[in-house]
């Protein structure tokens, strides 16, 4: 159902994206003198630890000195992929569900990279005094989530594990900031969310965790790119993967420095950053392997089975395959 308050905001947002795409269109087809892209607009979220580290460190600008690098923050993956699909970005990071919804909607983008699973980095929360004790108690309840986000798939799996049907719950589609406000004032009964929003709420109001993603959702993270960028600039993608993996090494081996970088940029409390990084495994970045594609296909199939996307999708159809690289699982 269209919300009369948010619909004008969405229309303004889409107009802004279209304007931005038009302004950058000529530049997107240009190349720097060394063959690198003339521009690289990167979409990220506060949870994108590796991207935030290279942004704050300036590594990519040094690696691609003739490329104009721009960074654009988004509250969640669906909004980021909306921008990517209309030509306002070249590259970005989301969770598992946004690309499925984008592909089902006919958006022209490619999976180009992935990080390892992070099942502990998302959860379904209830307030500490909530009568809800187990997943089956979600029947008939109002549950806040960002539509088309990784939390959407987590909730789909949680409902199935509880032996419930999707129609047995009342999903309330809200962006993370609005969802937290609704959660705290008890306008919803539960909230499906990911880090760092999960960590921030955990430290601030001490909710109970009804379940995490463990045994429910791999909670994979994917790097996506526009098709023209991926096909025309594979060397730039390789450079990105190398710098992202370098950033992960810093996060793992120099945790204090990483916390300072991420907290300083995001405005998050250092304790929140520390907590969400603790739940995050070592996360080098590279092209998708066969296992990751199979995991993502299960996500797509689950959404289609429930009628949450309008048609079936085949994930492998939009997986970037750099020349000479096999998708065989490592």
Tokens 């006919």 sit at which residue?
A: 106
* pLDDT per residue as tens digits for the range 292-321: 999 999 999 999 999 999 999 999 999 998
What is the structure's pLDDT at 9? 43
The ranges assigned to domains in the chain are 6-117+220-318, 119-212
**Residue 44 — very low, low, confident or very high, per pLDDT cuts 50/70/90?**
very high
**Is the pLDDT assigned to residue 25 strictly greater than 50?**
no
Within 10 angstroms of residue 1's Cβ, the number of other Cβ atoms is 4
Cα 143 from Cα 152, distance rounded (Å): 10
Q: Within 58-149, where are the H helices? A: 59-63, 77-85, 97-104
CA angle 76, 52, 323 (to 5 degrees): 85
Nearest alpha-carbon partner for 143 in 119, 128, 124, 127: 124
Cα 232 from Cα 235, distance rounded (Å): 9
The SS3 assignment for 194 reads: strand
Cα 115 from Cα 94, distance rounded (Å): 10
What is the structure's pLDDT at 266? 87
What is the structure's pLDDT at 322? 80
* Cα dihedral 21/22/23/28 (nearest 10): 60
**Is the pLDDT assigned to residue 27 strictly greater than 60?**
no
The CATH code of domain 119-212 reads: 3.40.190.10
* pLDDT per residue as tens digits for the range 254-264: 999 999 999 99
**Is the pLDDT assigned to residue 6 strictly greater than 90?**
no
- Give me the percent of the chain exceeding a pLDDT of 90: 83
**Is the pLDDT assigned to residue 328 strictly greater than 50?**
no
What is the structure's pLDDT at 289? 92
What is the structure's pLDDT at 157? 97
**Is the pLDDT assigned to residue 235 strictly greater than 90?**
yes
Candidate from 55-64, 164-173, 183-192, 320-329 with smallest mean pLDDT: 320-329
Candidate from 23-32, 36-45, 98-107, 206-215 with smallest mean pLDDT: 23-32
**Is the pLDDT assigned to residue 20 strictly greater than 80?**
no
* pLDDT per residue as tens digits for the range 72-115: 999 999 999 999 999 999 999 999 999 999 999 999 999 999 99
Q: 6-117+220-318 and 119-212: same fold?
A: yes
* pLDDT per residue as tens digits for the range 118-163: 999 999 999 999 999 999 999 999 999 999 999 999 999 999 999 9
What is the structure's pLDDT at 28? 43
CATH class of the 6-117+220-318 domain in this structure:
alpha beta
What is the structure's pLDDT at 91? 98
């Amino acid at each position: 159902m269209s919300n009369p308050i948010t619909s004008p905001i969405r229309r303004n947002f889409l107009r802004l994206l279209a304007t931005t795409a038009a302004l950058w269109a000529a530049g997107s087809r240009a190349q720097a003198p060394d063959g690198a892209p003339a521009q690289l607009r990167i979409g990220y979220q506060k949870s994108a630890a590796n991207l935030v580290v290279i942004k704050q460190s300036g590594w990519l600008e040094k690696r691609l000195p003739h490329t104009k690098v721009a960074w654009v923050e988004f509250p969640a993956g669906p909004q980021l992929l909306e921008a990517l699909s209309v030509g306002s970005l070249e590259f970005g990071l989301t969770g598992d569900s946004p690309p499925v919804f984008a592909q089902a909607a006919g958006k022209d983008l490619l999976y180009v990279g992935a990080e390892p699973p992070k099942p502990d980095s998302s959860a379904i929360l209830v307030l500490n005094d909530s009568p809800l004790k187990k997943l089956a108690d979600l029947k008939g309840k109002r549950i806040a989530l960002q539509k088309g986000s990784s939390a959407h798939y987590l909730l789909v799996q949680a409902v199935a594990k509880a032996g419930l049907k999707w129609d047995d719950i009342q999903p309330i589609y809200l962006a993370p900031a609005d969802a937290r406000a609704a959660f705290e004032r008890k306008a919803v009964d539960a909230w499906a969310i990911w880090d760092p929003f999960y960590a921030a709420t955990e430290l601030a109001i001490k909710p109970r965790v009804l379940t995490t993603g463990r045994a429910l959702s791999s909670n994979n993270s994917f790097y996506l790119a526009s098709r023209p960028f991926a096909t025309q600039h594979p060397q730039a993608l390789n450079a990105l993967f190398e710098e992202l993996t370098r950033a992960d090494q810093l996060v793992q081996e120099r945790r204090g420095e990483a916390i300072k970088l991420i907290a300083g940029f995001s405005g998050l409390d250092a304790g929140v950053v520390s907590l969400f990084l603790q739940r995050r495994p070592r996360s080098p970045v590279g092209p998708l392997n066969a296992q990751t594609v199979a995991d993502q296909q299960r996500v797509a199939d689950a959404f289609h089975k429930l009628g949450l996307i309008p048609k079936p999708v085949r994930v492998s159809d939009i997986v970037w395959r750099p020349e000479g690289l096999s998708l065989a699982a490592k």
